[in-house]
Amino acid sequence: MKHRRITTRRTAVAGGAAAALVIAGITFQSANATDSTEQFSVKALTAPAAGTLALSLKTDLGAAEAGAYYETGTKTLVVNVVSEDAAQTVRAAGAKPRVVENTLAELGAARKALTENATIPGTSWATDPVSNKVIVTADRTVSGAKLTTLQQVVRNLGGKAELKRSAGEFKTFASGGDAIHSGGGRCSLGFNVVKGGEPHFITAGHCGDTGSEWSDSAGGAAIGAMVESQFPGNDFALVKYSGDTPHPSEVNLYNGSAQAITKAGDATVGMPVQRSGSTTQVHDGEVTGLDATVNYGNGDVVEGLIQTSVCAEPGDSGGSLFAGDTAIGLTSGGSGDCSSGGETFFQPVTEALSTFGAEIG
């Protein structure tokens, strides 16, 4: 039987803004943070290069580093610090230092308090380096006593947290690269990978269970079986190809072309990204938060996600989030749609590859 070629797709992330948040960013100045007024030489960097520099400075600065983000307008990496000595190190590296009030340890304690006292379906929280706070989001289903509890917990955290509302409802997008089908359900292929020298692909964990068979058309012959699936907690799964199905390392752009994928990388707030999924195809957007915790309800809580301004809809689950030739994430869930907009969360690809012992290919 001849199988159609499966490629991973690119979805243009909805709601792309001029200032992309990479390790956390747009150019805002919050009430509890100040920019240095000293003159220093700042390097113009691409988003991936800024992410690499941010990780290096995080190692060098230790507890004195409090997050970073990329300003797309100036192509500048901004690094939050809590001391002037740390600021000098940032300047010497060619980035822009910004002295802030809250340390990452303090923001981590705020996140812990939210986990302990406000684990409510329809909520999410992520560390935002631009505001130097933990941004807590409640969707439209959070009301009454639950909303009151959430408001009180955030209030008790003072300047370390801020509460926002979403007009939509947080949910996984199962029902998006190329469409993949199993048992009447549809998701999207994320990225083709290699494990032990054999071809596999990765997708969202909530799409199916270990042992489930997958095809490239509704009711079609199986092209592979899911060998591992993790959800909740994480949201990724690995499917091993069977037969001779083509498995190029690329993402479907739904315009007759494809984007080659050569490597995997980590997200940075402010990073411009694209998403490809089988329902809404390609959309653009930006990374707006990291290490996000999302409560989809029914006990389905996922941690360590990438938060973005990308739109997505049912069927896009598992689809590709990428930046150029770099694989970044797998579509997990969110709120809204590609008509009204919304936010979407992604499972980091690097964590999935590390867990499975696989690599892009």
- Catalytic annotation, residues: 206, 235, 317
Pure H helices in 93-222? 104-117, 144-156
71 within 8 A of 78, measured Cβ to Cβ: yes
In sequence order, what are the residues at sequence separation of 6 or more whose Cβ sits closer than 8 angstroms to the Cβ of residue 213?
A: 182, 222, 224, 225, 226
Planar angle of CA 329, 57, 292, nearest 5 degrees? 35
Residues paired with 12 in a beta bridge: 274
Q: Which residue in the block uniquely carries the two structure tokens 């941004």?
A: 135
Q: What does the chain come to in residues?
A: 361
Read off the tokens for 180: 């993949």
Neighbours of 210 (CB within 10 A): 13
| Cα 246 to Cα 199, 289, 299, distances in angstroms | 9, 35, 37
CA pair distance 228, 220, nearest whole angstrom:
22
323 within 8 A of 266, measured Cβ to Cβ: no
Residues paired with 322 in a beta bridge: 274, 327
**Whose CA is closest to 318, among 168, 184, 212, 181?**
181
Strand intervals (E) in 60-178: 65-71, 76-81, 96-100, 123-128, 133-138, 161-165, 171-172
Q: Which residue in the block uniquely carries the two structure tokens 């995997």?
A: 264
3-state SS, 237-270, equals EEEEECCCCCCCCEEECCCCCEEECCEECCCCEE
Instruction: Tell me the pairing of strands 161-165 and 133-138.
Output: parallel
